[in-house]
Structure 1
Amino acid sequence: MIDRWIAEATECDFKVALEVKKPKSWLKSVSAFANGIGGTLFFGIDNDRNAVGLDDAQTDAEAISRLIKERITPYPSFVLAPEREDGKDILVLSVSAGRSTPYYYKADGIMEAYIRIGNESVIAPSYALNQLILKGMHRTYDELVSEYDFKDYAFSKLRERYKAWTGNSMEEKLFDSFDMRDEHGKLTNAGALLADDSPIRHSRLFCTRWNGLDKSGGMVDALDSAEFSGSLIILLNEGVSFVKRNMKTRWKKTADSRVEMPDYCERSVFEALVNALIHRDYLILGSEVHIDIYDDRLTIYSPGGMPDGTRIQERDLSSISSTRRNPVLADIFGRLGYMERQGSGFKKITESYHAAHNYRAELEPKFYSDVTSFQVTLYNLNYGQSIDKTSISDENQLFDEQKAVVSEKNQLFETFLLGLKAKASTKETMLKLYHKFGFDAAFARADIMNLAGVTLLTGRCIDR
Structure 2
Amino acid sequence: MIEQLIAEATECDFKVALETKKPKSWLKSVSAFSNGIGGTLFFGVSDDREPIGLSDVQKDAEAISRLIKERITPLPQFILKPLQEDGKNLLALEVSPGRSTPYYYKADGVMEAYIRVGNESVIAPDYIVNELILKGTNQSFDTLTTDAVKKDYSFTLLEATYLERTGLRFEPSDYVSFGLTDKNGLLTNAGKLMTDQHTVYNSRMFCTRWNGLEKSSIFDDALDDKEYEGNLIYLLKSGSEFIRNNSKVRFVKEAQYRVDKPDYAERAVTEALVNALIHRDYIVLGSEIHIDMFDDRVEITSPGGMFGGGSIQEYDIYSIRSMRRNPVIADLFHRMKYMERRGSGLRKIVSETEKLPGYTEAYKPEFSSTATDFRV
User: Which residue type is aligned with residue 152 of structure 1?
Assistant: D
Question: Structure 1: which 5+ runs fail to align?
Answer: 377-464
Counterpart for residue 81 of structure 2: 81
For normalisation by structure 2, the TM-score amounts to 0.97
Q: Answer whether contact 1:305 1:372 (CA < 8 A) is retained.
A: yes
Q: Matches of 2:40 and 2:166 in 1, distance apart? A: 50
Structure having greater relative contact order (Cα 8 Å, sep ≥ 6)? 2
Shift of 1:219: 8.9
Q: Which deviates further from its counterpart, 219-228 or 14-23?
A: 219-228
Q: Distance in 1 between matches of 2:122 and 2:343?
A: 31
**Structure showing greater Rg:** 1
Counterpart in the other structure of 2:115: 115
Q: Which moved further from structure 2: 116-125 or 135-144?
A: 116-125
2:25 corresponds to: 25
Q: CA deviation at 1:218?
A: 10
1:207-228 CA distance string (max 9 Å, x none):
1111111123899311111111
Report deviation, 1:306.
1.2
Query: CA offset at residue 81 of structure 1?
Result: 0.7
Alpha-carbon spacing, 1:320–1:11, altered in 2? closer, same or farther (3 Å): same
State the match for 2:365 in structure 1.
Answer: 365
Identity rate of aligned residues, in percent? 60
Aligned to 2:192: 192
Write the mapping of 1:8-23 to structure 2, written as runs, cut at 5 A.
8-23=8-23
- 1:144 and 2:124 equivalent? no
Superimposed CA distance per residue, residues 55-77 of structure 1 (whole angstroms, 9 cap, x where no aligned partner): 11111111111111111111111
Residues 1:224 and 2:224 are matched in the alignment: yes
Contact conserved, 1:289 with 1:302, CA < 8 A, in 2? yes
Counterpart CA distance in 1 for 2:224 and 2:28 is 47
- Determine the structure 1 residue equivalent to 2:328: 328
RMSD of the TM alignment (CA)?
1.3
In 1, are the aligned partners of 2:293 and 2:299 still within 8 Å (CA)?
yes
CA distance in 2, matches of 1:374, 1:296: 20
SS in 1 for 2:175: helix
Output the CA distance in 2 between the equivalents of 1:117 and 1:178.
35
Aligned pairs (5 A) from 1:47-446: 47-216=47-216, 220-376=220-376
Is the 8 Å Cα contact of residues 284 and 303 (structure 2) preserved in structure 1?
Answer: yes
Matches of 1:269 and 1:213, distance apart in 2? 19
Q: 2 CA distance for matches of 1:191 and 1:78? A: 39
Q: CA deviation at 1:361?
A: 1.4
1:128-153 per-residue CA deviation (whole Å, 9 max, x = no partner) reads 10111011101111000122111111
Change (3 A) 1:55 1:219: closer
Partner of 2:334: helix, strand, or coil? helix
How many equivalent residue pairs?
376
Deviations 1:113-166 (A, max 9, x none): 111111111111101101110111011110001221111111111011111122
Q: Deviations over 1:354-387 (max 9, x none)?
A: 11112111111111101000001xxxxxxxxxxx
Cα displacement (A) at 1:176: 0.7
SS in 2 for 1:318: coil
Contact map agreement 1:330 1:341 (CA 8 A) in 2: no
- Alignment partners' CA distance in 2, 1:167 and 1:7: 50
- Asked whether the 8 Å contact 1:210–1:217 carries over to 2, the reply is no
> Residue in 2 aligned with 1:415?
none
Change in CA separation of 1:231 and 1:15 when aligned onto 2, cut-off 3 Å: same
Distance 2:321 2:115 in 1: 23
